[in-house]
Structure 1
Amino acid sequence: MCGIVGLYLKNPELESRIGELFKPMLIAMTERGPDSAGFAIYGDEVGDGWVKLTLRHPDAEYDWEALATRLKNEQQMELSWFQNASVAVFKVRAEEAALREWLAEEAADVLILSVGQSIEILKEVGLPEKIAENFNLEGMKGSHIIGHTRMATESAVTMEGSHPFSTGMDLCLVHNGSLSNHNRLRDALKREGISFETQNDSEVAAGYLTWRLQKGDSLKEALEHALEDLDGFFTFTIGTRDGFAVMRDPIACKPAVLAETDDYVAMASEYQALTTLPGIENAKVWEPEPATFYVWERSSN
Structure 2
Amino acid sequence: MCGIVGLFLKSEALRPKLGEMLTDMLITMTDRGPDSAGIAIYGDPGDGLKVTVQSDTPAEDFDGLDVALGEVLGGAVPMKVSDTHAVLTIPADAKTRAVAFLEDRGLRVMGVGEAMEIYKEVGLPKDVAARFDLRTMGGSHGIGHTRMATESAVTTLGAHPFSTASDECLVHNGSLSNHNRLRRQLAREGFVTKTENDTEVGAAYISSRIAGGASLGEALEGTLQDLDGFFTFVMGTKNGFGVVRDPIACKPAVMAETDDYVAFGSEYRAFADLPGIETARVWEPEPATVYFWER
TM-score normalised by structure 1 residue count: 0.95
- Secondary structure, counterpart of 1:222 in structure 2: helix
Deviations 1:59-92 (A, max 9, x none): 2323324221122223303321110111000011
What number of residue pairs does the alignment pair up?
A: 294
1:250 aligned partner, one-letter code: P
- Secondary structure, counterpart of 1:82 in structure 2: strand
2:86 aligned partner, one-letter code: A
Cα separation, 2, equivalents of 1:207 and 1:176: 16
Give the alignment's Cα RMSD to 1 decimal: 1.2
Q: How does 1:211-290 map to 2 (within 5 A)?
A: 211-290=208-287
Cα separation, 1, equivalents of 2:69 and 2:38: 28
Displacement of 1:94 in angstroms is 4.2
- 1:88 counterpart = 2:73: no
Deviations 1:138-159 (A, max 9, x none): 1110000100001112222111
Contact 2:231 2:249 in 1 (8 A): yes
From the superposition, tell whether residues 67 and 179 of structure 1 become closer, same or farther in structure 2 (CA, over 3 Å): same
- 1:184 counterpart = 2:158: no
Q: How does 1:131-142 map to 2 (within 5 A)?
A: 131-142=128-139
Contact 2:102 2:109 in 1 (8 A): no
Deviations 1:276-295 (A, max 9, x none): 00000000000000000100
Contact 2:41 2:143 in 1 (8 A): yes
Deviations 1:210-245 (A, max 9, x none): 111111111111112121111110000000000101
- Which residue does the alignment assign to 2:151? 154
Give the unaligned 5+ runs of structure 2: none
- Which residue does the alignment assign to 2:66? 68
Deviations 1:132-184 (A, max 9, x none): 11111111100001000011122221111110000001000000000010000
Q: Which moved more, 1:246-255 or 1:91-100?
A: 91-100
Cα separation, 2, equivalents of 1:277 and 1:94: 36
- 1:169 counterpart = 2:169: no
1:4 aligned partner, one-letter code: I
TM-score normalised by structure 2 residue count: 0.97
Cα separation, 1, equivalents of 2:92 and 2:242: 29
Cα separation, 1, equivalents of 2:31 and 2:70: 45
Cα separation, 1, equivalents of 2:132 and 2:59: 17
- 1:101 counterpart = 2:86: no
Cα separation, 1, equivalents of 2:147 and 2:100: 31
Give the unaligned 5+ runs of structure 1: none
- Which residue does the alignment assign to 1:30? 30
Contact 1:51 1:94 in 2 (8 A): yes
- Secondary structure, counterpart of 1:89 in structure 2: strand
- Secondary structure, counterpart of 1:194 in structure 2: coil
Contact 2:34 2:147 in 1 (8 A): yes
Deviations 1:12-62 (A, max 9, x none): 110011112122101000100111110100003124xx1111001222323
Displacement of 1:192 in angstroms is 0.8
Cα separation, 1, equivalents of 2:73 and 2:89: 14
1:2 aligned partner, one-letter code: C
- Secondary structure, counterpart of 2:217 in structure 1: helix
1:99 aligned partner, one-letter code: A
Contact 1:7 1:144 in 2 (8 A): yes
User: Percent identity, aligned pairs only?
Assistant: 55
Cα separation, 2, equivalents of 1:63 and 1:143: 31
1:146 aligned partner, one-letter code: I
- Secondary structure, counterpart of 1:255 in structure 2: coil
